[in-house]
Every structure is written in structure tokens, then in C-alpha cells.
Amino acid sequence: MFRFAHTDYLWALLALVPLVFLAIWNVYQRRVKLGELGKPALVNHLLGGFSEKNRNIKSGLLFLSLIFIILAIANPQIGSKYEEVKREGVELMFCLDVSNSMLAEDIQPNRLERSKQAISKLVDELGSDKIGLIVFAGQAYTQLPLTTDYAAAKLFLSSVNTDIVPVQGTAIGAAIDLATNSFGKNESGNRAIVVISDGENHEDDALEQAKIATEKGIKVHTIGMGSPQGAPIPIIEKGKISGYRTDEEGNTVLSKMNETMLAEVASAGSGSYTRATNSDVGLGELLSRISKMEKKEFGKKMFTDFEDRFQYFLAIAVILLLLELFLPEVKWSWWNKFNKSE
């Protein structure tokens, strides 16, 4: 496995981009000014053997050496030992509501985006825990099975939107049932389900499914997204709000969070209920409860030892700098014999 120990230093490569354009601009300006002095043959004679080609090669060597110096500072490494590492953690399955009502903006920027931000922030706080993601509206689907790959989790999370589930509704019970069956068997005390929803248009027996999960040793927590006062549901077209949903009489529909139901689901699941606000999504309490859960030992194959390879990149950079140093800006006398036209 190849990696860089200090990936932040790689951003310095972007600083070289304007240097390239600056060098190209200087070459162009130099040619323009030399062209103003007279014919190319006369100008070359007056310059006394100066080689523009050599000067460009020297600039290229200097630029390449800077690239390899930056790569060396980032410290490239190669994995040298692959073994199973024992890690302890809990198993968390997030159930995220993606119904149209989650586009309401009483929680900024909207309920769904705020939910995704909350999950992403919570993932950053986890250590060796396994996480999974289920999306639901009128139906529930597994978006990401349980994994310790947090980078993959964030990637899948970023692609979630209200179009990902074709059937509208809020099937919280189906989501809890799917999450319950996603865990391994014969485990207890180290598994939890986190339902993030506005609870509107609840249409199945979520309380019964939460009780079933509890009987299997699984905690069910809920986070309410939205406000009891409600907010209109935007209609999104081409990434912009084109209007708001209305009922059959043309009145604007207000989506109100069903706080009572979400609290009852958490109670039935022996978990906690938290109402999100613009300033706090309730991650503090949830993380506190997760930290107190029984830990399970996971086995994961991974590289445990890495060998530094920065010295090779540094050596290449030194060689390039030496070439640049000893390459003259004038033409080689022996080369002039074979290249009179330059």
C-alpha cells in the first residue's frame, strides 16, 4: 500500500501552477522583445552564443526538482506489514429520512442537508466503531452496509438526496426493521440505530419495530429535524427553488415535525430523543450515550508498518538541481558544429 504520511504538504503543488504560467509568460515576453531588436540571425549573433533552449531546459529542471522536493516533504511510504488488527467499538446504523418534506428550510440550509452535516460531524468523532447508512421515504434501502471505512461513508452520504427513493412517505418502521436485520446475530449491548427524520406522514408501526429492536439488544435513538410550527416544502428544479408544494385547493402545505411520535419511538427503543435546532443537532448527548455502550472487538486486515521512501524523491530532486546548476545558458561549442541553424 502506498500513502503519503503528511498529505497536507501536497497542497503546495498547487502553488507551482501560477509559477508555470509565469514562466511561460516570461518566455513569450522575451521572444517578443528580442524580435523587436531585429532579425533572429542577427540577434543570435549579438547574444554571443546564448541558447534559449538551454534556458528553458534549466527552468524545467528547476520546476521538476521543486515537485520532487514537495513530494519528499510529504513523506511517501509503502506498507510493509499486513496483519489483522483488533479494534473495539460499537455498531451504528443511521436511518436517514429522504422524503420531500426534508427539504423544508426551518432548519438551515434545509432539514436533509443539516442531517447529512450532523452525520458527517458525528463520524468525525468516532474511533473504531462500525457505521452503516439506510435511506428511507415510503420505502427503506441500505445505502451503506456496516463498515469502518469512514471515507466511504462520507462519500455515500454526500450522494444522498430526495430522489434516491422513488416512493414518498415516511416509513420509519421499515427503516428500523431493515437496520435491525443489518446487524450480526447473537450480539448485545454494542449496537444502536439512529433515526434522523421529521416524522411527518408516519405510515407504519415504528413503535413495534423499535420494541423488537430493543428485545434484540439494540438501542433506537431519534433526532427530530424541523419545527412544530412547520415550514413550506420547496419544489426544486435544476438546483433552484421554483415554488412550494400546495394542496388540492392551492394552499401552501406546511410540513410540521411530529415530535411526539419520534419521542415515542425512542422511548420504545430504550434510546434518547433529541430535537435539532439551527445551533445544535444534539450530537453531544448522543455521543455521550454511544461512549457508554458496551464495546465489541472487531478484527480488520490492514497495514500496520510503513517504510519511508522520501529519500528516493529527495535524491531525484538533488540530481535535477545539479543538472540545472551545471547546464550552461550558452550553446556548447561542440554542439554548434552540428547545429549551425540554432
| Ranges of H-type helices in 104-205 | 111-125, 150-158, 172-180
Mean pLDDT over residues 36-42, rounded? Answer: 58
Residue 110, phi then psi, degrees to nearest 5: -160, 175
User: In angstroms, rounded to a whole number, what is the distance separating the alpha carbons of residues 64 and 54?
Assistant: 15
Residue 194, phi then psi, degrees to nearest 5: -115, 110
Q: CATH 3.40.50.410 residue ranges in the chain?
A: 91-294
Full DSSP string of 75-125: -EEEEEEEEEEEEEE-EEEEEEE-SGGGG-SSSSS-HHHHHHHHHHHHHHH
Question: Tell me: the pLDDT tens digits for 257-306?
Answer: 999 999 999 999 999 999 888 777 777 778 788 777 767 766 555 555 67
Is 260:267 a contact under the CB 8 Å cutoff?
A: no
- This prediction has a pTM of 0.64
Q: Is the peptide bond before 145 cis (omega within 30 degrees of 0)?
A: no
Cell output for 263: 419521542
| Amino acid (1-letter code) at residue 158 | S
- Which residues sit opposite 218 in a β-bridge? 191
Maximum alpha-carbon separation in the chain: 94
Residue 6's pLDDT is 87
- Other Cβ atoms less than 10 A from the Cβ of 90: the count is 23
Band (pLDDT 50/70/90 cuts) for residue 64 is very high
Kindly state the percentage of the chain with pLDDT values over 70.
82
Residue 334's pLDDT is 45
Contacts of 54 (CB under 8 A, 6+ apart): 327, 328, 329, 330, 331
Residue 318's pLDDT is 94
Cα 256 from chain centroid (whole Å): 31
Mean pLDDT over residues 130-137, rounded? Answer: 94
Kindly tell me the number of DSSP H helices and DSSP E strands found in the chain.
11, 13
Instruction: Judge whether residue 342 has pLDDT over 50.
Output: no
User: In angstroms, rounded to a whole number, what is the distance separating the alpha carbons of residues 39 and 26?
Assistant: 20
CATH class of 91-294: alpha beta
Question: Tell me: the pLDDT tens digits for 209-242?
Answer: 999 999 999 999 999 999 888 899 898 887 788 8
3 state SS of 18: helix
User: In angstroms, rounded to a whole number, what is the distance separating the alpha carbons of residues 197 and 224?
Assistant: 6
User: In angstroms, rounded to a whole number, what is the distance separating the alpha carbons of residues 318 and 302?
Assistant: 34
H/E element, 298 = strand 296-308
Q: For residue 282, give the DSSP letter.
A: S
User: In angstroms, rounded to a whole number, what is the distance separating the alpha carbons of residues 306 and 218?
Assistant: 38
In terms of Cα–Cα distance, which of 142, 147, 151, 148 is closest to 180? 142
In terms of Cα–Cα distance, which of 223, 125, 211 is closest to 176? 211
User: In angstroms, rounded to a whole number, what is the distance separating the alpha carbons of residues 2 and 200?
Assistant: 48
